[in-house]
Amino acid sequence: MHWTTLQWLGDALSGQFQILDQTLLPEHEMMIELTSVDEVWAAIHALKVRGAPAIGCAAAYGAVVGARSGDISSVAKVLENLQKTAAYLATSRPTAVNLFWALDRMTKFGEAQTSTDPEEFLASLLTEAHSIRDEDDAMCHSIGKHGAALLGDGMGVLTHCNAGGLATSDYGTALAVIYSAIEAGKKVHVFADETRPLLQGARLTAWELSRRGVPVTVICDNMAAVVMREKKVQAVVVGADRIASNGDAANKIGTYGVALLAKAHGIPFYVAAPSSTFDMTLEDGSGIPIEERNPDEITHGFGRMTVPAGVSVYNPAFDVTPAELITALITEKGLISPVNSRNVKAMIES
Ligand code: MRU
């Protein structure tokens, strides 16, 4: 087993919800237990667990943690705990739609239950959370299979941030495409943008690819253009946090720039994501809420002051790549190309 991104050990009433603390990687590989809803909220907010599908899975298990906390003397009380937890966890991060999708699914599932036994009710909530995780894993493998066909033997592939097993239940979205291509016998070399300011590419993507034996070269974000001009990469594959119904895709800050560079160099730009990442209520990407994070991440990244005191800083965590820059969306249901409202609706609503 390579590693475990998140897991629930035991039953609903006394079991443990554990995550791999991603803020400690690559130096320390440590599973931590999240014992309260506050700890789940803080872990999501601080990116201890991160990446859109993994946030969804964490929220589902967090909902169980919340449902069993406090008064559980009746099904009505457990349901009230669940609803309060869902409302609270929904404030942990704004951009990845999987968070809201998973909380909504858990709440609706709870509201539809007819059990009169609180313990049985809690057990059914845990089963639903496990289903969310298992379905995510199945979707990731399916994304990998659909996407692998797009990569040729010997290709260099650029990725941004981490859309791998660490960002999902286990197998990844963008990295699933690479894993599947390699499993199909192709040689692939990955170029990982370091991904300022929190270095998900350098710390996480490079770590997980190394753990899975995939050759990887880390580059600073400002080197992507040169790597493309030197013909070291023949494709770009990234993940997404929220995709609007016209195919505009929000992903880690810097993705939009990479898409523009890919276009300038005639390199295909792919976005891999499960259907739980699509927000069909949004006509286009302008409605996607973009998280702004603490300026400290830029001024004091990883312990050193790198910006003079008092200087203003702008720290949006995501950007939106317009559909016209995306060669194809890779989903568990198949490829969407060309990327437009008609094709997105046909695939996602099928
Ligand atoms: O801020 P993060 O690390 O949660 O951002 C993650 C990303 O932008 C990923 O690319 C995205 O969630 C896709 S994960 C399969």
- Residue 191 sits in the same domain as residue 304: yes
Average pLDDT, the chain: 98
From 23, 252, 288, 290, the mutation candidate for ligand 1 (largest count of ligand atoms within 8 A of CB) is 252
| Mean pLDDT across 178-184 | 98
Query: Residue 256 pLDDT > 90, yes or no?
Result: yes
Say how far apart CA 220 and CA 343 lie, in whole Å: 35
The answer, yes or no, to whether any atom of ligand 1 lies below 6 A from the CB of 262, is no
Q: Is 279 a catalytic residue?
A: no
Would you place residue 178 in the very low, low, confident or very high pLDDT band (cuts 50, 70, 90)?
Answer: very high
> Which ligand 1 atom lies nearest to the CA of residue 55?
4
Among residues 241, 248, 279, 319, the one annotated as catalytic is: 241
- Residue 33 sits in the same domain as residue 108: yes
Query: Residue 109 pLDDT > 70, yes or no?
Result: yes
Q: Look at residues 100, 121, 140 and tell me which one is the last residue of a structural domain.
A: 140
Say how far apart CA 269 and CA 214 lie, in whole Å: 21
Give the DSSP letter of residue 238.
Answer: E
Query: Residue 303 pLDDT > 90, yes or no?
Result: no
Q: What's the pTM value of the predicted model, to 2 decimals?
A: 0.97
- Residue 198 sits in the same domain as residue 246: yes
Say how far apart CA 80 and CA 110 lie, in whole Å: 10
| Mean pLDDT across 180-194 | 98
Say how far apart CA 328 and CA 338 lie, in whole Å: 6
| Mean pLDDT across 128-153 | 98
Q: Is residue 1 part of a domain?
A: no
Q: How far is the CA of 226 from the centre of ligand 1 (A)?
A: 24
* Tally of domains in the chain: 2
Domain of residue 118: give its range: 6-140
Neighbours of 295 (CB within 10 A): 15
* pLDDT (tens digit per residue) in 41-90: 999 999 999 999 999 999 999 999 999 999 999 999 999 999 999 999 99
Query: Residue 1 pLDDT > 70, yes or no?
Result: no
φ/ψ (deg, to 5) at 270: -110, 145
